[in-house]
């Protein structure tokens, strides 16, 4: 990354093309490795402007500021490489060749098939699942998850199979507790074990990112020593930082989301998992609290009046066949039409096992609601 003896800094970013999740970031100063890293906000902005152009069928390949040259290049619709250089005399052609060599080196070491299979962030999920499973086995429990701001971002299969309501209440509990490096917290499971307590162990891997274990009398908290954590989680610091950056937005940095979207709820009815955010963009009215209330009320309406709350419910009885044909696939609600530019728009779209609800600003045209919802659902599908 840069020739020896040259001045200036070079930053190399590698991201999943479909989602913008950072896979690794490397920096050098004067030709030698540097610890300096770009903030996630800048990484997200650099990837976001590239993806925004692609959505408009515009290919952004390079840009210059007063002292920095930036070059973007995507490979096989799976990997996006971005390089920023402040070295004197740097040309776009040289940086593009650098990106080609970097991708060539990645193919050399892991093969093209492994790199192109990173689509839909499946490789990232696989890395986290393998680490969770290995750590769970070493710790002697099958119930392990990674929680960010009260949201489960990755978990073992046993954790996902927890019954209601503990599947919802456990991450809420972790998100409501004051920050601590480690906890040993007694809990009862309302569905699985309402009379015999279990232990909820939590370990902070990064600020705001906690590793949670649900277990019995063993292991003692003291057994989960730094050596065990380093073995399983030190190699995954970059994917963990990608999880850490989700926060209230719940979406990867740079994820392409239409600016009219004020909040969304995506449910996978078969997996019984959801993606929910009321903070996808900057400060706009209504407030996040109001958005949450509006989306919840809309969800209650559409599941009661239009869409079955669980997959397969409409297939239980043959005599319901005529009714199934009439089950809608989309509906919308408009508020504030008495004053132009006021109120908001709500749209729901049901495709296969997924149900998407969007809260949109009043500027979003009614005739385009279904198209916007369809495009958004396709973009979100790799995440859930």
Tens-place pLDDT, residues 299-323: 888 888 787 655 544 444 434 544 4
Q: Is 62 helix (H, G, I), strand (E, B) or coil?
A: strand
**Is the pLDDT assigned to residue 70 strictly greater than 50?**
yes
Task: State pTM to two decimals.
Answer: 0.57
Res 2 pLDDT > 50: no
pLDDT in tens, 4-17: 444 688 999 988 77
User: Which residue in 329, 330, 317, 323 sits closest to 366, CA to CA?
Assistant: 330
Q: What tens digit of pLDDT does each residue of 75-93 get? A: 888 889 999 998 887 888 8
Domains in the chain, CATH or no CATH each: 9-117 (3.30.450.70), 121-248 (3.30.450.30), 257-383 (3.30.450)
| 103 Cβ neighbours under 8 A, 6+ residues apart | 73, 75, 79, 81, 115
Average confidence score pLDDT of the chain: 80
- Residues 311-363 have pLDDT tens digits of 544 444 434 544 455 677 899 998 876 566 667 899 999 988 899 999 998 88
Q: What percent of the chain has pLDDT above 90?
A: 11
- 123 pLDDT higher than 60: no
Q: Is the pLDDT of residue 120 over 50?
A: no
Instruction: Provide the 8-state DSSP code for 177.
Output: S
What local confidence, expressed as pLDDT, does residue 266 receive? 92
Q: What does each C-alpha distance from 213 to 190, 209, 271, 317 come to in angstroms? A: 17, 13, 21, 41
**Span 244-276, pLDDT tens digits:** 666 666 776 667 778 889 999 999 888 878 888
DSSP string, 212-257: EEEESS-S-GGGS-HHHHHHHHGGGHHHHHHHHTTGGG-S-TT---
């Amino acid at each position: 990354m840069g020739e020896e003896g040259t001045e200036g800094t070079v930053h190399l970013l590698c991201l999943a093309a479909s989602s913008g999740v950072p896979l690794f970031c490397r920096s050098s100063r004067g030709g030698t490795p540097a610890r300096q890293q770009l903030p996630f906000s800048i990484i997200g902005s650099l990837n976001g402007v590239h993806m925004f152009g692609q959505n408009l069928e515009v290919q952004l390949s390079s840009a210059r500021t007063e002292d920095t040259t930036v070059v973007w290049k995507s490979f096989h619709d799976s990997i996006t490489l971005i390089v920023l250089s402040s070295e004197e005399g740097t040309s776009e052609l040289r940086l593009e060749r650098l990106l080609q060599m970097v991708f060539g080196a990645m193919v050399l070491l892991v093969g093209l098939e492994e790199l192109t299979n990173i689509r839909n962030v499946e490789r990232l999920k696989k890395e986290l699942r393998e680490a969770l499973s290995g750590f769970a086995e070493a710790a002697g429990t099958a119930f392990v998850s990674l929680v960010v701001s009260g949201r489960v971002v990755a978990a073992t299969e046993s954790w996902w199979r927890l019954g209601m309501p503990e599947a919802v209440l456990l991450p809420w509990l972790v998100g409501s507790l004051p920050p601590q490096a480690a906890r040993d917290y007694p809990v009862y499971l309302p569905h699985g074990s309402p009379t015999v307590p279990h232990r909820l162990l939590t370990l902070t891997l990064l600020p705001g990112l906690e590793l949670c274990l649900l277990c019995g009398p063993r292991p003692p908290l003291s057994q989960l020593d730094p050596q065990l954590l380093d073995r399983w989680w030190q190699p995954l610091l970059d994917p963990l930082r990608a999880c850490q950056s989700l926060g209230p937005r719940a979406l990867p940095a740079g994820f392409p989301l239409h600016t009219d979207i004020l909040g969304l709820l995506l449910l996978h009815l078969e997996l019984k998992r959801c993606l929910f955010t009321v903070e996808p963009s900057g400060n706009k009215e209504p407030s996040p609290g109001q958005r949450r209330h509006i989306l919840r009320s809309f969800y209650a309406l559409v599941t009661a009046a239009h869409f079955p709350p669980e997959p397969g419910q409409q297939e239980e009885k043959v005599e319901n066949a005529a009714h199934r044909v009439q089950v809608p696939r989309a509906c919308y609600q408009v508020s504030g039409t008495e004053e132009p530019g006021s109120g908001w728009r709500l749209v729901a779209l049901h495709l296969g096992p997924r149900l998407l609800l969007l809260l949109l600003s009043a500027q979003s045209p009614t005739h385009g609601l279904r198209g916007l919802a369809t495009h958004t659902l396709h973009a979100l599908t790799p995440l859930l």
